[in-house]
Amino acid sequence: MLERLSPQAPDALLALIRLYAADPRADKIDLGVGVYRTEDGATPVFAAVKAAEQVLVDTQDSKSYLGPEGDMGMVTALMPYVFGAGDPSMGGRIQGMQTPGGTGAVRLALALAQKAGITRVCMGVPSWPNHAQILADLGLELVTFPHARHDGTADLDAVLDAIEQNGPDTAVLIHGCCHNPTGIDYTPEDWDVIADAFASSSTFPIIDTAYQGLGHGMEEDAAGMRKVLAKVPEAFVAYSCDKNFGQYRDRVGAFYILGQDQASLDTAFSNANALARAAWSMPPDHGGAVVRIILNDAGMTAQWLAELDDMRARMRGVRDALASAGTAGRIDLTPLGSQNGLFATLPVTKEEVAQLREDHAIYMAASGRINIAGLTNANLPKFIAALAAVAQ
């Protein structure tokens, strides 16, 4: 039987990790792996997470099953941060469940959309590679449009066309903030227009929010998504705690459904539960329990938010330094100062990426995506100089 399978290409990022690990040069720079790093190059466990884990060790009295919806205390505790403290459930119209990371939330959102009659998904490109892989695995048609313009701003006209030119069998998948891989977000004014377009269209919104708090702040990063939700009868939100709680390997996410009324919401949630039960039975508990403990304790919450502020400030400082450098060879670095989050995409060729790796020990994805948090005060001059030497 196994001979019927075709070999699959290895994951390019995993291959890059192996190349970096084998490189003996002391001044090598890793801009490939998509995790936050401190000025010292570490990816530490949040102090708030450590504190919550100790509470869990001291008080958890069972490892029994929770069910496909996971830790509903976590799901509920997140809602004021995601949807606003004033009315987190939007009058009872939002219901959610825990998922295995943001990836599980995206998968569940797309699977449920398909079950509800969606056959086509429009998505701006470039995007997170797993979006397209999940769509292909589900057998959903993918229609792409350009996410960004050459000047480093979001292409508003392209997303509006996708929303306005389609109908009830189509969803538009949109990043809530800190776009992966470009860092190019819609402006507040863009979000007003996007929300109005969804309101006047039967196209279904799916919003992937994987980096809340890493752009301008928890409230600021959720503002665009909230504008859409305030205008539409139905929507899905896929949420990740992997980055803003630093729980990458613990796989903590949530899937939220906005429904028109309680009856439709209950029906949708029952279908989501059935899909989750078939896919993973129940999500991993540890990370979700940690998030719940943090958000239910005022001291830990303040500590978590302060740590998140520090992360965001460091990445903003790196972006400001890149922007102040102006150009590196033919590459204009100034737009990076107004972009957000962990990532940026540089207009370099695959050959130039290879040259940066071979001649300068700088490792990045072949697409030109870089992890902003991989840059530090110590290695920024080397990176800018190498880029200038290669990108002529």
Strand bridging mode 252-258 / 94-100: antiparallel
Burial of 316 (0-12, 13-18, 19+ CB in 10 A): middle
Task: State the average pLDDT over residues 285-314.
Answer: 98
The model's pTM is 0.95
What is the residue-averaged pLDDT of the chain? Answer: 96
Find where tokens 């100062």 sit.
Answer: 337
Q: State phi, psi for 302 to the nearest 5 degrees.
A: -65, -40
Active-site residue, 227 included: no
Q: Of 208, 221, 242, 250, which is the active-site residue?
A: 208
How crowded is residue 109: how many other Cβ atoms within 10 Å of its Cβ? Answer: 25
Nearest CA-CA partner of 228 in 261, 266, 200? 200
Q: Of 30, 71, 128, 185, which is the active-site residue?
A: 128
Q: Of 243, 250, 285, 304, which is the active-site residue?
A: 243
Active-site residue, 50 included: no
Q: State phi, psi for 99 to the nearest 5 degrees.
A: -135, 165
What b/e readout covers 278-288, taking b as 16+ CB neighbours within 10 angstroms? eebebbbbebb
- Give the confidence band of 14 by pLDDT, cuts at 50, 70, 90: confident
Find where tokens 């084998």 sit.
Answer: 22
Question: Which tens digits make up the pLDDT trace of 188-240?
Answer: 999 999 999 999 999 999 999 999 999 999 999 999 999 999 999 999 999 99
The answer on pLDDT for 317 being more than 90 is: yes
Q: Which residues contact 284 (CB under 8 A, 6 or more apart)?
A: 100, 250, 251, 252
Active-site residue, 382 included: no
Q: Which residues contact 200 (CB under 8 A, 6 or more apart)?
A: 164
